[in-house]
Amino acid sequence: MKQICPAQVSRVDAGRAGLIGLAVVFMGCGAAWLVVFARNSSLLLSDTLLDDFFRLGAFNIAAWLMIFARAGHIISPHPAATRIIVAAMVAALAALLAVPSVLGVGLAMALLGGGILLQPKLLTPARESGWLLLALAACAATLSLCAFSLPVADWDAQAAAWLSRLAGFHATAQGPLAGVGAFRVIILTGCSSITPLASVWLAYLVILLFMRVTPGRADIPWLLASFITSIALTEIRLSLMLPSAAAWNWWHNGPGVTLYELTALAAAALFPLLASRRAA
């Protein structure tokens, strides 16, 4: 009988693990493409689909590149790891078929990321890939939340009115409506303080991994600070919209949007950069 040396077994197992890892990544990436299809019914690659893909953001693209780079190490060397990953892939496919929408895409990527993180004897690249997939899932889920009216919009209206009163305006709020005098702004879920949080989480992970630092418990305070800063910036922007229609237009459609986005991006990048210094 032909004998196989341990080195050969190791190479075969590593090859199988790499193929399964690539399958997980391609399935997750395919789910992400479905977000683009769900947002745009046209399939013309030249001027719509690729445009929408790049509108998903640089951090989303960077996250997928990082996951691809770790594909060969997604599977843990533990014998049960393959079964867990395959089960996660089956559950993710079932989610896509059962909920053919952006919400289903988010659920599928969450199942893939969770399956990776549930493996025993988890490898560091696998842990990083799992967290990236969960952050991407949260970004996809946020798109679906924008279609619903959530209580957070009422709380944002109250907070924005309070900040406006601190600035000397006689602002009032009722439900998701806030404003000064007869002018009223309705705060929808898509403009609420929770909407940017998934993107903030994704940016935190991408920058931290770019700095070659593996996320851990030490990052929790930094990530919370990043979330709080994002919420505060959103509330300040909302409060600046309340005094008049001109103020609303400047901060909602005009140069104020760019100013807010650049400030939010700088804040989102600052905290992971500060957190990465612990490894220096």
| pLDDT tens, residue by residue, 159-202 | 999 999 999 999 999 999 999 988 999 998 888 999 899 999 99
pLDDT digits (tens, 9 = 90+) for 65-110: 898 888 878 888 888 888 888 888 888 888 878 877 778 888 888 9
Asked if 111 and 175 sit in the same domain, the reply is no
Asked if 137 and 192 sit in the same domain, the reply is no
Helix and strand element counts for the chain (H, E): 11, 3
- pLDDT, residue 86, reads 85
Asked if 263 and 158 sit in the same domain, the reply is yes
pTM of the predicted structure, to 2 decimals: 0.82
What is the Cα–Cα distance from 276 to 114, expressed in whole angstroms?
Answer: 25
What is the Cα–Cα distance from 47 to 120, expressed in whole angstroms?
Answer: 44
Q: 């800063």: which residue's tokens?
A: 229
126, 145, 164 - which closes a domain: 145
Asked if 31 and 157 sit in the same domain, the reply is no
**Is residue 200, in this structure, part of any structural domain at all?**
yes
Domains contained in the chain, number: 2
Asked if 135 and 236 sit in the same domain, the reply is no
116, 145, 174 - which closes a domain: 145
**Is residue 197, in this structure, part of any structural domain at all?**
yes
Asked if 178 and 244 sit in the same domain, the reply is yes
- Cross-strand bridge partners of residue 174: 177
Neighbours of 174 (CB within 10 A): 12
- pLDDT, residue 28, reads 62
Asked if 76 and 179 sit in the same domain, the reply is no
Neighbours of 134 (CB within 10 A): 22
- Cross-strand bridge partners of residue 179: 172
Stretch (H or E) spanning 63: helix 58-69
Does residue 133 have a pLDDT over 60? yes
Percent of the chain with pLDDT over 90: 44
What is the Cα–Cα distance from 184 to 189, expressed in whole angstroms?
Answer: 16
What is the Cα–Cα distance from 43 to 46, expressed in whole angstroms?
Answer: 9
What is the Cα–Cα distance from 263 to 247, expressed in whole angstroms?
Answer: 18
13-27, 53-67, 237-251: least confidently modelled range: 13-27
What is the Cα–Cα distance from 157 to 146, expressed in whole angstroms?
Answer: 16
Asked if 138 and 22 sit in the same domain, the reply is yes
What is the Cα–Cα distance from 272 to 219, expressed in whole angstroms?
Answer: 8
pLDDT digits (tens, 9 = 90+) for 208-246: 999 989 888 899 999 999 999 999 999 999 999 999 999
Stretch (H or E) spanning 238: helix 220-241
- pLDDT, residue 57, reads 74
Asked if 36 and 126 sit in the same domain, the reply is yes
The separation between CA 92 and the C-alpha centre of its own chain, rounded to angstroms, equals 18
| Residue 120, domain extent | 6-145
pLDDT category of residue 6 using cuts at 50, 70 and 90: very low
129, 145, 161 - which closes a domain: 145
